[in-house]
Structure 1
Amino acid sequence: MPRGSKESYSSKQKRMAQHIEEGYKKKGASRKKAERIAWATVNKETGGAAKKKKSSRKKTTH
């Protein structure tokens, strides 16, 4: 995955970032600055990109 890719974020996190970005654009911030602030806010509030949950079930060897 290339650096800066947003693939691993959940759809909820992407919607949240979009909403925050739109708010900053309305306040007069540039597109790049609004996007940077939006993703920083999402990372701070949600703990970053969503990690795939690993199975807690252990494999048994019979």
Structure 2
Amino acid sequence: MPEQSWSDKRERQYKEIKSSQKKRGASTDRAEEIAARTVNKNRARSGEAKSASKSSTRGSSPQKRGGKRSGNRQGPGGPTKDQLYNEARKHNIKGRSSMTKKELENALGR
């Protein structure tokens, strides 16, 4: 419980998120960080925090977003040509250097 100014509701929320992250295999430190960030963002969105950034007050809540911004860098068009090329190199596909993105996708069976 990092913050003394949190309400009982926020304390329960923190404990629940931390517990959930631990069940998913996160380390204790990482689980505490995620829980604290989520609770603080929710406090900012509801006006409980003294200050809040624009990114904290706009957009969907962390619970609704559900990791949509995490690590996935493929974007709406799928993987980039470079990503496909690297995958083709791992699979040792011949002629990959002269292939287009579409040809790489076909060669990889996408």
Tell me whether the two structures share a fold, i.e. TM-score over 0.5.
yes
Residue 22 of structure 2 corresponds to residue 46 of structure 1 = no
Distance in 1 of aligned mates of 2:44 and 2:12? 16
Distance in 2 of aligned mates of 1:44 and 1:9? 12
Q: Please, which of 15, 18, 21 is the counterpart of residue 21 of structure 1?
A: 18
Paired-residue identity, %: 39
Residue 24 of structure 2 corresponds to residue 7 of structure 1 = no
Deviations 1:22-59 (A, max 9, x none): 000000000111001001001111218x56xxxxxxxx
**Offset at residue 6 of structure 1 (A):** 1.5
Q: CA RMSD in A?
A: 2.2
Q: TM-score, normalised by structure 2?
A: 0.38
Unaligned stretches of 5+ residues in structure 1:
52-62
Amino acid at match of 1:25: K
* Counterpart secondary structure, 1:47: helix
Runs of 4+ in structure 1 deviating by more than 6 angstroms, as ranges, are none
Higher relative contact order (CA 8 A, sep 6+): 1
Structure having the larger proportion of residues in helix = 2
